[in-house]
Amino acid sequence: MTTATEWLQRIRALPLPERIKVMNVCGGHERSITTAGLRKAIPSNIEIVPGPGCPVCICPEEDIYEAIQLALHEGVILVAYGDMLRVPVNAPKSEPRSLEQAKAAGADVRPIASPLEAARVARENPSRTVVFLAAGFETTSAPAAALLAQGAPDNLLFLMSGRRTWPAVAMLLDSGEPGFEALIAPGHVATVMGPEEWEFVPRDHAMPAAIAGFSPESLLAALYSVLRQRIEGKCFLDNCYPQVVRPGGNTAAQRFMDATMDIVAGNWRGIGPIPDSAYVLKPAFAAHDSRVQLPSYTEMARKRAGQMPPGCDCAKVVLGKIYPNECRLYGLACTPRQPVGPCMVSDEGACRIWWANGVRENVWAGRKASGAEA
């Protein structure tokens, strides 16, 4: 097995262009890259920019607001993945602005780690309605689909907020100005859906792409692959995580998803609607759809519905347009203790990852102080 040191030597030996920017899509990749210090180890003319791979960061603000209102006003037990409880929404100061604050105000909000825990809560409380805020990408949507297909408790409803990963990358590439020249695709998503989903990157956009795992060795192998593709002018999809990612992916998981969910356009927080990017329940599962069974609060008039909080640049971070510490609020108004934007909440959020690894300088503030930023 080639070591990380050997991959670094191979990368340094390449006849690299003056500058090249590589996007990593996955929040887990960003955590591994930052924690291992890979940006400091590679040549300075290679930029690795985090992309739209944090499900908490892009979860529609209106879905979280809906979950808060259901927990406060409908007497339900609201269950959600732990990170989701601290994500702020745009609500008046007099109202709870997160599920955590709703819990403090008396709502029955409980963190869970999997759909099976949601089912357990429902079975333990048969006289109450349990609403599962089903956020996440394909890797968490698949087990939710499996639970539905195999028989969820009658009192368990799903507030669907799942998203597909590749359409966000396709949107960036279709814009004509993606801001990067090569792509490292997510390993866990490819494990579920198959590597074939990412073949559009080299095929339709002549861009190097490689699927990576989460070790420094796998990430550096993928980086070496896309750099070499770029240099040689040969674009293809390289699977650098063959131990887990197999052709066709997890077909059983895909069957569960096909049986229970439809694919529609969906909002991404601060970004807007992206075609073919959202999972919704099929009509046959309306009995488990919270949007069918419970009142809706999404149409309530309020400022900045669906948007990032004022001053927050999370959307630019998610799209790879700026680095986390170029956000106007990074480390100033927004810290993990008091997050303003969702990228500072999740352990897959680029801002939270950078802060946890000791990045304290706010580049935007430095530019403003020097007069370089208006």
- Domain end, chosen from 297, 313, 329, is at 313
Q: Determine contact, residues 221/240, Cβ cutoff 8 Å.
A: yes
| Cβ neighbours, 10 Å, residue 233 | 8
- Check residue 304 and give its pLDDT: 81
One-character DSSP codes across 296-308: --TTS--TTTTSP
- Domain end, chosen from 313, 332, 352, is at 313
Are 220 and 358 within one domain? no
Are 220 and 365 within one domain? no
| H helix or E strand, kind and range, residue 253 | helix 251-260
Are 210 and 322 within one domain? no
- Check residue 242 and give its pLDDT: 97
- Check residue 135 and give its pLDDT: 97
- Check residue 300 and give its pLDDT: 66
Helix then strand then coil, % of the chain, to nearest 5: 45, 20, 40
Per the structure, the complete domain to which residue 330 belongs is given by 314-370
E strands in the chain: 20-24, 46-50, 77-81, 108-112, 130-136, 156-162, 182-186, 209-212, 237-239, 261-268, 272-281
| Cβ neighbours, 10 Å, residue 2 | 12
Q: Of 116, 82, 87, 83, nearest to 101 (Cα)? A: 87
Q: Which residues contact 170 (CB under 8 A, 6 or more apart)?
A: 200
Q: Of 51, 46, 59, nearest to 26 (Cα)? A: 51
**Residue 80: helix, strand or coil by DSSP?**
strand
- Check residue 104 and give its pLDDT: 98
Are 179 and 320 within one domain? no
Are 134 and 206 within one domain? yes
Are 290 and 333 within one domain? no
| List of the chain residues with pLDDT < 70 | 299-301, 372-374
Are 208 and 183 within one domain? yes
Here the CATH number for the domain that contains residue 297 is 3.40.50.11740
Are 192 and 62 within one domain? yes
- Check residue 301 and give its pLDDT: 67
Report the largest interatomic distance among the alpha carbons of the chain, rounded to a whole angstrom: 67
Are 220 and 329 within one domain? no
- Domain end, chosen from 313, 333, 358, is at 313
Q: Please give the model's pTM, rounded to 2 decimal places.
A: 0.94
Q: Which residues pair with 162 in a beta bridge?
A: 136
**Residue 270: helix, strand or coil by DSSP?**
coil
Q: How many whole angstroms from its chain centre is CA 57?
A: 6
Are 81 and 187 within one domain? yes
Are 215 and 363 within one domain? no
Laid out side by side, the sheet with 46-50 consists of 46-50, 20-24, 182-186, 209-212, 237-239
- Check residue 298 and give its pLDDT: 78
> What's the burial of 361, exposed, middle or buried (CB within 10 Å: 0-12/13-18/19+)?
exposed
Number of domains in the chain: 2
Are 298 and 319 within one domain? no
- Check residue 110 and give its pLDDT: 98
- Check residue 374 and give its pLDDT: 47
347/335 Cα distance (integer angstroms): 13
